[in-house]
Amino acid sequence: MVKIEIRNLFKIFGPDPKQALNLLHEGRSKQDIFEQTGNAIGLDNISLDIMEGEVLVIMGLSGSGKSTLIRCINRLFEPTSGTVTINGQDITKLNEESLRRFRRDKFGMVFQQFALLPHRTVLSNIEFGLEIQKLEPDIRKEKSRQALQLVGLESWEDAYPSQLSGGMQQRVGLARALAVEPEIMLMDEAFSALDPVIRRDMQNELLALQKQMRKTILFVSHDLDEAINIGDRIVLMKDGVVIQVGTPEEIVTSPANSYVEQFVANVNIANVLTVGSILIPAKHIAMIDEDISTVLKRTKEADYGSMFVVDKQSKLKGLVQRHDLEQVQNKGITLNSIMQTNFPHVTPQTPLHEIFGLFSAWPYVLPVLDSHRRLQGVVRKTNVMRALAHETENHDAADS
């Protein structure tokens, strides 16, 4: 479901934005408009749907418009033209008081600078947004402690910001945003001030929290590796224009133009491609209630050394070996009594780099399961190697 709908959004900075907008509509270049009027085009006709519960990473180089976009979404910057509709309500039409309430109730914000109040304890810092909501002290403390527990800092509630590392301070900033229970999280370069190791830890922390919370998160970044790691989709911007929107896999494997190709040229393909892009159907499977002889015959016809076993809902129950079937045929033994049930599996969303170790310990094809353990297909080591070789060739050709 669409959570935020952005249509024909423009943001122009300068003395006469309307004049600049008219010139832009006439087809004048941004450079000409700036030289003639002194107005700078921040956003140029942005239209975008943001889905409920997704992590959308807005990225680009400095000056691309990514921070301007999220500030227009909550109207910290007033859009020059266009609409921003959230939950069916066009917030560009809200008056000052209604906008203030809307921000307070719907948004949580985390910025690059931790912005913690040095004279307040950790718990008191987290309570700050709840104070603005005028909640009772006992309720504020309860909600703040819950948020602090979410980010793993419950034992630090009486500490002061100066006593915390950078990563811990950013966790407090995240907890402060979560405490108000927002529907939408706006995170502007939230982890960029952290060192690489802590930054990766915070990315993983955010993903773990997202599995519990299912918030709509807009995350601004200039780091492609970060975008690939946390984003359900990526919005790539340049000069105030959206160049491409897609999943990390789509952005890397199907760049919209030469600019995107150059942007993703140095990406490790194994970190981007997922199992879903290379899985193949499980052509021969056994049903849990089938007899041994029938399953053995099928393994021989297919020349398979093993076969996955599923129930009527296609849920994976186990795996049977052909030599085990041969040993127990005609002995009244059921599949359930001889099949293996302890073996690795992956999902369609599993990155390819995560399955190399599985193949070294598991000699058979890997089953691919959905969230209900239904068998979606299988993945072979040879498929992985072919996919990586193919994409590497494509990147090499784009670089040449």
Query: Of 267, 287, 304, which closes a domain?
Result: 267
Q: Are residues 281 and 332 in the same domain?
A: yes
Q: 400 lies in a domain?
A: no
CATH code of the domain in which 293 resides: 3.10.580.10
Least confident piece of the model among 53-57, 218-222, 264-268, 302-306:
264-268
If one compares 40 and 177, the residue with the highest pLDDT of the two is 40
Q: Are residues 6 and 148 in the same domain?
A: yes
**For the chain, how long is the longest CA-to-CA vector?**
91
Q: Are residues 239 and 283 in the same domain?
A: no
Q: Are residues 188 and 291 in the same domain?
A: no
Query: Of 247, 267, 287, which closes a domain?
Result: 267
Least confident piece of the model among 197-201, 267-271, 363-367:
267-271
The pLDDT, as a whole number, for residue 104 is 86
Q: 390 lies in a domain?
A: no
The pLDDT, as a whole number, for residue 393 is 53
Q: Are residues 119 and 180 in the same domain?
A: yes
Q: Are residues 240 and 350 in the same domain?
A: no
Domain extent at residue 283: 276-385
Q: 325 lies in a domain?
A: yes
The pLDDT, as a whole number, for residue 400 is 43
Q: Are residues 160 and 253 in the same domain?
A: yes
Q: 378 lies in a domain?
A: yes
Q: 393 lies in a domain?
A: no
On the question of pLDDT at 67 being above 60, the answer is: yes
Tokens of 24: 């832009």
Quick: pLDDT tens for 133-171.
Answer: 888 889 989 989 998 888 888 889 999 989 988 888 888
H/E element, 293: helix 292-302
Q: Are residues 122 and 250 in the same domain?
A: yes
Q: Are residues 65 and 122 in the same domain?
A: yes
Contacts of 292 (CB under 8 A, 6+ apart): 325, 328, 329, 330, 331, 333, 334, 335
Q: Are residues 96 and 178 in the same domain?
A: yes
The pLDDT, as a whole number, for residue 239 is 93
Beta strand pairing status for 2-13 and 81-86?
antiparallel
Domain count, the chain: 2
On the question of pLDDT at 69 being above 50, the answer is: yes
Rounded Cα gap, residues 261 and 264, in angstroms = 5
Q: 11 lies in a domain?
A: yes
Q: Are residues 253 and 281 in the same domain?
A: no
Rounded Cα gap, residues 384 and 362, in angstroms = 15
Kindly indicate the confidence band of residue 240, based on its pLDDT and cuts at 50, 70 and 90.
very high
Average pLDDT, the chain: 88
CATH code of the domain in which 20 resides: 3.40.50.300
Query: Of 244, 267, 290, which closes a domain?
Result: 267
On the question of pLDDT at 316 being above 90, the answer is: yes
Q: Are residues 201 and 346 in the same domain?
A: no
Quick: pLDDT tens for 8-53.
Answer: 999 999 999 999 999 999 999 999 999 999 999 999 999 999 999 9
Question: Which residues make beta-bridge pairs with 234?
Answer: 57, 246
Quick: pLDDT tens for 70-118.
Answer: 999 999 999 999 999 999 999 999 999 999 989 888 998 887 666 788 8
Q: 391 lies in a domain?
A: no
Nearest to 102 by CA among 183, 170, 36: 183
Rounded Cα gap, residues 4 and 184, in angstroms = 9
If one compares 246 and 115, the residue with the highest pLDDT of the two is 246
Least confident piece of the model among 2-6, 49-53, 157-161, 277-281:
277-281
The pLDDT, as a whole number, for residue 122 is 92
Rounded Cα gap, residues 215 and 217, in angstroms = 6
Q: 57 lies in a domain?
A: yes
Q: Average pLDDT in the 360-387 region?
A: 85
Alpha helices, DSSP H, located in the chain: 17-25, 30-37, 66-73, 96-106, 122-132, 137-150, 166-179, 196-213, 224-230, 248-253, 258-263, 292-302, 322-328, 335-338, 356-361, 381-399
